[in-house]
Amino acid sequence: MLKLSQVCHVLLATLVSISFAKTVNAEPTATLNVVVNGIHHQKGEICFRVYASEQGFPMSNSSGSQSGCAKITGNSVKKQFTGLKPGTYAVAVVDDQNGDRKLNKDFFGIPKEGFGISKNPTVSIQTGTPKFRDASFVVNKNTTVNIIMKYSLDS
């Protein structure tokens, strides 16, 4: 009987050790703070999409790691994204004035609403849509990125 009790204690100790090992080896997560400056409107919302790869960047409404919108309350808006795996990301934002949560463009493909992209790359007819590599940055424990809103293509 004493031996069965000892076996139970060893088994219990092993299970507890394994559960602690899994907790210790849990993947760390990171927080991304996105600050958008230069907003021209005082109504509507700024919609954000965080991309972990070039897939869908920067136009897809269905690609991306996380997304969300924040009500415009001034010429600057902040949004926090938590639980990201440390790695390389890019962010695209839209000054959504009509509530459809996407960037509206005219017949020629020129944006009709304000937009912004992390690292603020040049966006013009000559350069076209920025590539993920031109807008990406490393996110580790706590990262802040600043985006300047654009309301026309760069010259």
| Predicted confidence (pLDDT) per residue in 42-52, tens digit | 889 999 999 99
> What's the rounded Cα separation, in Å, for the pair 24 and 21?
5
Kindly state the percentage of the chain with pLDDT values over 90.
Answer: 59
Whether residue 43 lies inside any domain: the answer is yes
What's the whole-number mean pLDDT along residues 85-98? 95
Q: Which residue has the tokens 């009500």?
A: 71
Whether residue 23 lies inside any domain: the answer is no
Give the structural domain span for 127. 30-148
- What's the structural domain count of the chain? 1
Nearest to 44, CA basis, from 117, 90, 112: 112
- Reported as a single tens digit per residue, the pLDDT across 66-88 is 999 999 999 999 999 999 999 99
> What's the rounded Cα separation, in Å, for the pair 69 and 85?
21
Whether residue 42 lies inside any domain: the answer is yes
> What's the rounded Cα separation, in Å, for the pair 114 and 94?
6
Whether residue 19 lies inside any domain: the answer is no
Looking up residue 58, the CATH number of its domain turns out to be 2.60.40
Whether residue 132 lies inside any domain: the answer is yes
What's the whole-number mean pLDDT along residues 5-13? 47
Kindly state the percentage of the chain with pLDDT values over 70.
Answer: 83
Q: Which residue has the tokens 């965080």?
A: 50
- Reported as a single tens digit per residue, the pLDDT across 130-140 is 999 999 999 99
β strands within the chain, DSSP E: 30-37, 45-51, 66-71, 76-84, 87-96, 115-117, 137-139, 142-148
In the predicted model, is pLDDT for residue 38 greater than 90? yes
Whether residue 6 lies inside any domain: the answer is no
Whether residue 130 lies inside any domain: the answer is yes
